[in-house]
Amino acid sequence: MNQHEGRALLATMIQGSTVDLFQASGVAVAPVPTSRRDLDDVRPRALMGRIQFNAPAMLGTLGLLVPKDVFELVKQDPSRPFSGVDWVQENANQLLGRLKSRLLPFQVTLRMGLPQMMTPQALETSVARGLLGVYRFRTLRGEVTVTLDGKVEYSKLEYSGVCAGLTEGDIIVF
């Protein structure tokens, strides 16, 4: 797979994973077409989480940037409300988990770090180093952004068939 095809494939996986993730939280998001300018124009949001990953073909950090107004759309159990900080970190984790599942048929097994908050300074550093991808999503109350920082060997993304992966809600007995 060449670099252009690999970038398009990874972008599609990230977009699909993000739409699925927010749909599970009761928030409708729609991908916004990206341009080269988007790589340099990433603005901090009220809630920013990130999670590191690595695999033989990939190494980097996935960021999830969410405006406070979008977080307010998230369905919550009134008896067990959660904070935006916890939510954005958990959703960065879940987003990378969904991406990990989509990469399995391409023989890429991601190892995931622990989710953490992203500071405006960390975001600025990532942008200055050069982001691999910026994926924007429109909502009723603002724009959600997903960032990808690091390196990807797109030539290693080779489809080898559907593998028997887990789906959300599966129980794993240890």
Helix (H, G, I), strand (E, B) or coil at 84: helix
Q: Tokens in use for 72?
A: 């307010």
In a domain, 120, yes or no: yes
Query: Is residue 103 within 8 Å of 151, Cβ to Cβ?
Result: no
Classify residue 166: in a domain, yes or no. Answer: no
Asked if 28 and 22 count as a contact pair (C-beta separation under 8 A), the reply is yes
The predicted-structure confidence for 2-40, as pLDDT tens digits, reads as follows: 888 999 999 999 999 999 999 999 999 999 998 777 777
Q: Where are the beta strands (DSSP E) in 23-84?
A: 30-32, 47-55, 58-66
Spatial distance between the Cα atoms of 32 and 163, rounded to a whole number of angstroms? 30
Whichever domain contains 106, its CATH number is 3.40.1550.10
What pTM was estimated for this model as a whole?
Answer: 0.90
- In-domain check, residue 170: no
- Evaluate whether residue 172 is within a structural domain: no
How many C-alpha atoms does 121 have within 13 Å on its Cβ side? 0
Q: Assess whether pLDDT exceeds 60 at residue 164.
A: no
